[in-house]
Amino acid sequence: MTFETILLDKQEGVAFITLNRPEALNALNAALLSEVGEALLSLDKDDDVGAIVITGSEKAFAAGADIKEMAEQSFAEVLKEDKFAAINAVFAAIHKPVIAAVSGYALGGGCELAMACDFIIAAESAKFGQPEIKLGVIPGMGGSQRLTRIIGKSKAMDMILTGRMMDAAEAERAGLVSRIVPTEDLIEHVTEIARGIAHLSLPSVILAKEATNRALETTLTEGLIFERRVFHSLFATNDQKEGMNAFIEKRQPQFKNS
Ligand code: CAA
């Protein structure tokens, strides 16, 4: 696979997708969104990959959808193109964990891309925002829906109606990011976290992700039943026997993803 707007790297079970349009602070144009989608789908099928990291540059994870690409489009054109539908569909189809490693700006579509990932690790320099209102539009890649579910209505309304930015500390307090790390150590920390996940049993990782996502989509009663059935089903795997026996025998488990 050759890409023009992203870089792809794989090391010890972890794949890194690096957004690479430095001249536009990694603004998400159609080519970049399509390449991210293509890379994710292919890495999800790659047996050498157990976890995926999406990152940008130190200055910008991504400064939003590409304003220059959209500025002159008509209502009929954007409606027909519906360009953010495909990437949301890709994220919904990915089984493996996807971690956003955010340094610098994650604005508009950049914040939405980070939120489409399973969790966000932020550098101290990270800044999140949904500034679309200042452009005369609203978030279009999930911001009004995912941000509200993650940080609650009051703070999401504040962000979306004012277009202001949130720094990493506020984002952590609000539950938007799971951890903050020193900016210069972002990739090292995220690599360690992703590698830890990649060494676990893939069937349990896939089902843990699915069960956790189910919490956002269903009632508590249905979600609890779903979780228990998934828990029960994992007793059909060799890795459950290996994981529990390794604990009892005081050794590290050797998972075989079976
Ligand atoms: N689209 C296209 N180009 C962008 C861009 C974007 N979203 N963000 C930055 N750029 C370009 C700039 O135009 C500039 O290019 P030129 O050198 O050719 O002029 C280059 O990247 C560097 O940007 P700045 O000079 O503006 O850098 P800065 O450090 O002064 O400011 C910033 C950084 C605060 C992030 C500022 O660039 C900015 O406000 N960007 C736009 C943020 C935004 O409004 N995002 C929402 C987009 S709409 C959207 O995302 C819809 C959706 O929901 C999917």
**pTM higher than 0.90:** yes
Give the atom of ligand 1 at the shortest distance from the alpha carbon of 60. 35
Q: Which residues line ligand 1 (CB under 6 A)?
A: 24-25, 27, 63-68, 84, 105, 107-109, 112, 131-132, 135, 139-141, 143
132 in active site? yes
Report the nearest-CA residue for atom 20 of ligand 1: 24
196 in active site? no
Of the residues 109, 129, 140, 142, only one is catalytic, namely 109
pLDDT bin (cut points 50, 70, 90) of residue 25 is very high
* Strand intervals (E) in 56-210: 60-62, 98-102, 105-107, 119-123, 127-129, 165-167, 179-181
SS3 state of residue 217: coil
Of the residues 132, 142, 143, 156, only one is catalytic, namely 132
Report the nearest-CA residue for atom 8 of ligand 1: 63
State pLDDT tens for residues 113-136: 999 999 999 999 999 999 999 999
* pLDDT greater than 90 at residue 1: no
State pLDDT tens for residues 62-74: 999 999 999 999 9
112 in active site? yes
